[in-house]
Structure 1
């Protein structure tokens, strides 16, 4: 049986512990050797070497290594060196970014050595928390962190903040006594758990579990067992690389065979085939992908978002579902009075203050029956009492003035038995009793109620009505608190009786500003938002409805109900009182349905799901060390709005990577088509291997990389997420790539054919070769401006506004022309000065090709 179910005497006998003396020193040492230190196994620090090796785990890098090996085998040292530089550049950039992110995380995780007070041999001792053993008697006071799981033996006004473990937003009252067998973790009021905090009171606790056997340890086990799946980008690039290898091999073999049939020299065709193979592989892809992700990572760091892995930015851009915690993520993590219900008047937040005596009395009781104080917006003391002072101040009363008028004489503190707090004050003329607490308990000590300044006897019918009103407020997600008072002529020992009931206040943890707009934007982007919380179902449902997560306040399911509904994840948007395992199961279910899941959280209870999700997002301020360790990114300012910024950035990056791939493939395939057709037809103006590599270098470096820096526009968040089951380049996109390649290749061949046959004098094969060479380069450079995605405009769109792209086209054209004036380069590339007519052919056919592609884009529409 679990510790919370046993009777107190039974559990003391089970652990062989004397509650008055604790364990003997020898017994404690024996148990420490048997159970081990009271520590949670944490994830290992990632070494710099592992971060570096991770940069080489990519199908495209494997492909480049193969191409580099072939180049070295055939002694094409220039090609091999160029590919090696690309691989190393990609690795260095990725390593620097991920290494910095890892160090940033270490700065967030400030480890502190904890101690604990225990009874040993009848004496209180302070020992390191690692030395606590099962059976120890732990002594807890307000402000302490609980160092091990334990059963409460004695308590005085004990309250624990368990939000990090259960998601419950308010401190939980704790007291001795056994509980039923099916009691949920969040409702086990006779237990305290490792990693939680004592907010009020004190207690004597029997340690029942330490280390990895605690509830915190169980979560650590789940975290270790939650394996991270490959990111969408990694999966898509792997699939794309396999397909590209197949296409490249087939085309290169065909061209090599055609060359041999036309009696071309074998060595020359072998060199050409290797050059084509290298040209077909988009060796700039790893660098462009890494630079695009790194740029997004840097931009997000400026917005207080630490991204631990480059791929996390893109993954968030592909997200289809965001599973979010409620407390502190969607809400402010502070209480606020939103309703006040009195016999003759009802007040709601943002309404004018009622000029009613009962409302003034309620304000006065809220100040006097209160031990908190205001210090700026946060205040000091119990969250509920701070919220009452803020309410009084916001409704026009002066807190300090009220306290000056009434001197406090006595206090009857709140406890789990009476569930009511009362204070006795001396005023200028009379003594005043102020009381607040649970409505059902407060009504038991009230004999009258205040109606429009007149005191009337509190009949049973009115008591029942107040209880109905309380249930109505509670069902709308509010925490309720009753208020009462009484005027006395003098001081008395028994002042908590025959009180005058004033009314009820409803409190809630309000939604964070701007969150509703963020959720609306998520819905507009085709992203489903699911709330997971350990809070009360009614509270969760109300907040979800108010924020637009759900369409009605009945759309909520609890952890208990979830066990009988295997497909609840598909139909429900709000999950309350869920355990860490249920959160993990929900992520697994969504991923099984091919969803890309982002999970936000701050507590230890969120850690397993954070790790298993495609993208785990932890909170930097409220987030526990465990949640930050396993997450992929950390919001340093805890702002939920940053998630949508990251989604947008991720989508822009993914779009840019897709632009880059489409651009390079269409350019590289155009070269394959040109050379294939020339070899098959036996035409005399074939491109040399060095010319192919130069064309590839000019188009792959500056314009292709500049595409990775294109800024998105508003249309990027008006599209549905890309189906994770679809490849990065779909069938339609492949069709358009072949169309682009055919147009570019046709333009080059057309220009060369025209230059060879329609000129004055003898046929000049060398001039035709130069015209084809320059037409291919200019056509490909202009083709970069055709890489619009989705609903982007051509003129005035993101591409035209990209200064890097425009500059790269000009720079690449200038470098190409400069080669004519450097004799060694000119000779190696077999170039010569061309007449004006040939330049007109180059420009005319290149522009014509671009216009045909624009016309095709208008006819066939989007590539995806």
Structure 2
């Protein structure tokens, strides 16, 4: 049966691949006939027909998991596996009550974990839908009016006419029919990171490997530069990417968050593996009952196991994601929350983050600095006719012309060809034809230094002169003056083309005539200075990594209070090897004129220095750096590849929004640490108490089943920790996983609770129990000894629960609990519930099943005194701990 299903799957995949292979040789008209479309696009009815026939453009890697699969996934953590192992051992030793309790604990943890996992998955899906990726297609309305439309990616169908440009993610498998300097990366499919140029012509020969066909692009690739038109051949699971995803269950990369959780888990497991055998041996030797000692050791092992940890983590992350969404921060990957909170360096572009993202064209000047409408006209033709990703300066030029009501500029021209922008040339060109004169003109716009490098002449008042060194220096000096005032400057050049078929390449961008320059202004945001100061207070150092020139960058950074004393350009970065750059990046906060590769190198070196690095960007030039950063941050208006590379999406491009997200990330991580550290110290303290009891008491201080119930009640009360308040000082600095720190915490605070456990032992053994039963343990009859043991065990059960519960409030804050820092109402309610239930159990039928009995009122009076002194001692230990290690959690 399995072979048959696999055979059908392979046969279907072969049919789709063969269809794609054959399409490479078809002319555009034949291909359109095959898919039943025209260049005018489908109607809405035709779209529905195609969707029913070929399916939706959605990747479904696997079927929805069954309940059994979800349960299996939920118990694949070290704690649940340890507990189940102990349950099996208890079964063979016929301790069925222990088996029941352990299975109940694992089941409860699994149910809560599954519930929260489903909730968090649904929450992430809902949040991700808020940041929808769209594609541009040609579609017809019902009235047969054809137009380009932006539609969600999942609404794409086979046969759609698709338009692609720089920054786009390829949304399906597509046969190209028209391209212009179109480069894509296919690393997600082939592993090759170098861009590949693609063309729109039909192939003469059949390709052996369709991934190598130069007129096909595939889902999962992304556009580096240029533009293209194509016809969709396959969508969703029928794409090459979809077939790979179905046939290969790729193992996901272990994140820093998962590594941290695993390291913490192993701390608990090691302590359990050491302590449980010691308890077993000591009780076996002192009590003589090795079976009872073995069962007790098992219950101790269970007591050391924080089986609710996976559930607590899931709840914290899901709650954190929802809270962050209220602050306009969308979490695509839940595990990124910890890295977001741990971030101590934020690398960001300048435009739109530090500045207002409202670029306006202020001046259009000739080479001698005089206003000249001719410069504006050439700039408009260049920006209007380019088909690549229009940046803010292109939009500013077009908007300015609209305001001047000069839109008829393009009526006398038509576009012939273009050379898209790339980050090495830092310029772009278009060829236009004057309809009236039938003459061709190449118009190029770009960074002023790059423009001067390709110009041999300059034009002033329609007089062309040689661009000599003196004139070059004059132009550069004038542009630099504008740069120093915060203006971004682009040069404009042109060249007449005399040939009849003016299709151009980069080689044609030479010996041009410089006309002048355009000056743009993007003022700094009023909130940026305050945002930088707040981020600094929260331990996040901001570094600006921009492709803009040095003078503009210095001006803007000075305005917002960033240190520009140590300043570095891309060419200086390029001259350093990795070891040298690793030292330099610590001191330099502002980098300018960077290429995408240089941004990536800087992030990598900061990471090598031990920093948790966030990178915030919205352009195709930022995607690589975002991928290597610990946490990639983008905005919902970013290009597709930037949003795909990010794990955090901001609904508002503002550092103030980022600060709110960082704070929420730290709250989430702090509440996870609270459960881990408090539970660890409490459980470790219980082990010390048990060791002391094993040496001095003639019986077990608590029955194995009683320990299991105690642990269950405590864990249930801890489920409210994700909703706890977090003190301000915990939010002021980045937090990292620290397994050694957890061990230190256990060693300090565990024995503290043991002191009062031992005091309780003494009071119960030499005071309350002899007082109630009229004599010491050794002088009582066997029947009275049983009652003596029952009251002793009940007393320690109640005291242990009270101290464990109160210590949550003592150790959740560095301040004085209940006075300087109050827990959330949910946590107060949860812990109060645990105390009440645990105290009442001995008085119920459950208490009888557990061999418990009621304790006298005198015990509770003494217990209150014990709790008061326990809190005082814990406060003293807490003071010395903070003094030595600077922080509590």
TM bucket, shorter chain: 0.5 to 0.7
| 2:835 equivalent to 1:813 | yes
Q: What SS is found at the alignment partner of 1:621?
A: coil
Shift of the 49–630 alpha-carbon distance from structure 1 to 2, 3 Å rule, reads farther
Shift, 1:86, TM fit: 0.7
Paired position in structure 2 for 1:5? none
Match of 2:478 among 469, 473, 476: 469
Paired position in structure 2 for 1:802? 824
Shift of the 523–363 alpha-carbon distance from structure 1 to 2, 3 Å rule, reads farther
Paired position in structure 2 for 1:507? 520
User: Cα deviations across residues 394-447 of structure 1 (Å, max 9, x unaligned)?
Assistant: xxxxx98x869x9999989999999999xxxxxxxxxxxxxx999999x96656
Paired position in structure 1 for 2:638? 622
| 2:115 equivalent to 1:92 | yes
| 2:610 equivalent to 1:602 | no
Task: Please identify, of 741-750 and 707-716, the stretch whose mean Cα deviation from structure 2 is larger.
Answer: 741-750
Distance in structure 1 (CA, Å) of the matches to 2:164 and 2:255? 46
Shift, 1:855, TM fit: 1.7
Contact 1:307 1:633 in 2 (8 A): yes
| 2:217 equivalent to 1:211 | yes
Distance in structure 2 (CA, Å) of the matches to 1:839 and 1:540? 69
Contact 1:366 1:389 in 2 (8 A): no
Paired position in structure 1 for 2:710? 695
Q: What SS is found at the alignment partner of 1:520?
A: helix
Q: How many residues were matched structurally?
A: 711
Q: What SS is found at the alignment partner of 2:263?
A: helix
Q: What SS is found at the alignment partner of 1:250?
A: helix
Paired position in structure 2 for 1:634? 649
User: Cα deviations across residues 265-290 of structure 1 (Å, max 9, x unaligned)?
Assistant: 33322222221111110112111121
Shift of the 63–314 alpha-carbon distance from structure 1 to 2, 3 Å rule, reads farther
Paired position in structure 1 for 2:802? 778
Paired position in structure 2 for 1:857? 878
Contact 2:320 2:665 in 1 (8 A): yes
Contact 1:338 1:508 in 2 (8 A): yes
User: Cα deviations across residues 322-360 of structure 1 (Å, max 9, x unaligned)?
Assistant: 333444444444313578999999xxxxxxxxxxxx9xx
Shift of the 594–607 alpha-carbon distance from structure 1 to 2, 3 Å rule, reads same
Match of 1:705 among 719, 737, 756: 719
| 2:297 equivalent to 1:273 | yes
Distance in structure 2 (CA, Å) of the matches to 1:730 and 1:565? 35
Paired position in structure 2 for 1:122? none
Shift, 1:479, TM fit: 2.3
Contact 2:635 2:652 in 1 (8 A): yes
Distance in structure 2 (CA, Å) of the matches to 1:515 and 1:714? 22
Shift of the 748–88 alpha-carbon distance from structure 1 to 2, 3 Å rule, reads same
Shift of the 98–556 alpha-carbon distance from structure 1 to 2, 3 Å rule, reads farther
Match of 2:259 among 235, 252, 258: 235
Paired position in structure 2 for 1:321? 345
Paired position in structure 1 for 2:20? none
Paired position in structure 2 for 1:830? 851
Paired position in structure 2 for 1:522? 535
Shift, 1:102, TM fit: 3.7
Q: How does 1:729-768 map to 2 (within 5 A)?
A: 729-753=741-765, 755-756=767-768, 759=771, 762-763=774-775, 765=788, 766-768=790-792
- TM-score, length basis structure 2: 0.65
Distance in structure 2 (CA, Å) of the matches to 1:298 and 1:139? 35
Q: Runs of 5+ in structure 1 lacking a partner?
A: 1-21, 33-40, 117-127, 133-137, 149-153, 166-184, 195-206, 346-357, 373-380, 393-398, 422-435, 449-459, 484-502
Distance in structure 2 (CA, Å) of the matches to 1:556 and 1:62? 54
Paired position in structure 2 for 1:555? 568
Q: What SS is found at the alignment partner of 1:309?
A: coil
Contact 1:307 1:313 in 2 (8 A): yes
Distance in structure 1 (CA, Å) of the matches to 2:768 and 2:803? 19
Distance in structure 2 (CA, Å) of the matches to 1:853 and 1:240? 23
User: Cα deviations across residues 185-226 of structure 1 (Å, max 9, x unaligned)?
Assistant: 99x9xx9999xxxxxxxxxxxx977536999478999x99x9
Distance in structure 2 (CA, Å) of the matches to 1:532 and 1:733? 40
Q: What SS is found at the alignment partner of 2:633?
A: strand
Distance in structure 2 (CA, Å) of the matches to 1:162 and 1:328? 27
RMSD over aligned Cα atoms: 5.9
Distance in structure 1 (CA, Å) of the matches to 2:600 and 2:167? 30
Distance in structure 1 (CA, Å) of the matches to 2:573 and 2:881? 52
Match of 2:128 among 89, 96, 105: 105
Shift of the 826–369 alpha-carbon distance from structure 1 to 2, 3 Å rule, reads closer
Q: What SS is found at the alignment partner of 2:610?
A: coil
| 2:66 equivalent to 1:66 | no
Contact 2:109 2:311 in 1 (8 A): yes
Paired position in structure 2 for 1:13? none
Shift, 1:786, TM fit: 1.0
Distance in structure 2 (CA, Å) of the matches to 1:304 and 1:164? 31
Match of 1:716 among 723, 730, 735: 730
Contact 1:751 1:771 in 2 (8 A): no
Match of 1:83 among 101, 106, 110: 106
Q: What SS is found at the alignment partner of 1:719?
A: coil
Contact 1:314 1:654 in 2 (8 A): yes
Shift, 1:27, TM fit: 14
Shift of the 315–535 alpha-carbon distance from structure 1 to 2, 3 Å rule, reads same
Q: How does 1:189-338 map to 2 (within 5 A)?
A: 211=217, 216=222, 230-336=254-360
Contact 1:367 1:389 in 2 (8 A): no
Shift, 1:707, TM fit: 2.7
Distance in structure 2 (CA, Å) of the matches to 1:145 and 1:699? 52
Q: Runs of 5+ in structure 2 lacking a partner?
A: 1-23, 35-56, 140-155, 173-177, 187-193, 201-212, 226-239, 383-389, 420-427, 433-444, 463-468, 493-515, 777-787
Q: How does 1:650-669 map to 2 (within 5 A)?
A: 650-669=665-684
Q: What SS is found at the alignment partner of 1:815?
A: helix
Q: What SS is found at the alignment partner of 1:300?
A: helix
- TM-score, length basis structure 1: 0.66
Contact 2:199 2:214 in 1 (8 A): no
Contact 2:123 2:322 in 1 (8 A): no
